[in-house]
Amino acid sequence: MKHLRKTSHAKYDLKYHIVWITKYRYPVLTGKIAIRVRDLIRLICSENEVTILAGSISSRHIHLFVSAPPHLAPAKLIQYCKGATSRKVQQEFPELRKRYWGQHFWARGYYVASSGNVSDEMILQYIHNHEDDDEKQDNFRIAR
């Protein structure tokens, strides 16, 4: 537990693997565009107290492994990143207008998975150790 982060009322270790792709999977994340997108994502993450543990920008998609505070939902973080980068990149690189005439730079969806130091089995074992014999058939019970 040496990697815990703190807010004023919580200690946490929340990590997410996030992936999203360009619209139509066009390979446009190269050169100056890729550098600008990386800089914008770094700025957005720092403004929201998110630490980038690792990241990769390929020509068609972005991978991020981040540590985020508990008050920031992964969906909200992705919304901030995709929205701001799409708007800024399309303003700064007019050559993208030919490909993205509808002002949508990123595809609609994304992938997110949580990561942590404790496995599902360890959590289940911890919870089941707090149970009484008469409540073993219920998976959400009151510990005494």
Contact assessment for residue 87 and residue 100, using Cβ atoms and an 8 Å cutoff: no
Distance CA 71, CA 2 (A): 21
Distance CA 50, CA 8 (A): 16
State yes or no: pLDDT of 110 exceeds 80. Answer: yes
- What is the pTM for the complete model shown? 0.82
**pLDDT per residue as tens digits for the range 2-57:** 678 888 888 988 999 999 999 999 999 999 999 999 999 999 999 999 999 998 99
Radius of gyration of the chain (CA): 20
Which residue in 131, 113, 120 sits closest to 63, CA to CA?
113
State yes or no: pLDDT of 1 exceeds 70. Answer: no
Read off the DSSP letter of residue 95: G
> What pLDDT is stored for residue 124 in this prediction?
75
**pLDDT per residue as tens digits for the range 43-77:** 999 999 999 999 899 999 999 999 999 999 999 99
Find the range with the poorest average confidence among 112-116, 119-123, 139-143.
139-143
> What pLDDT is stored for residue 142 in this prediction?
47
Query: Which amino acid is present at 44?
Result: I
- Ordered structural domains, the chain, with CATH: 5-116 (3.30.70.1290)
> What pLDDT is stored for residue 98 in this prediction?
84
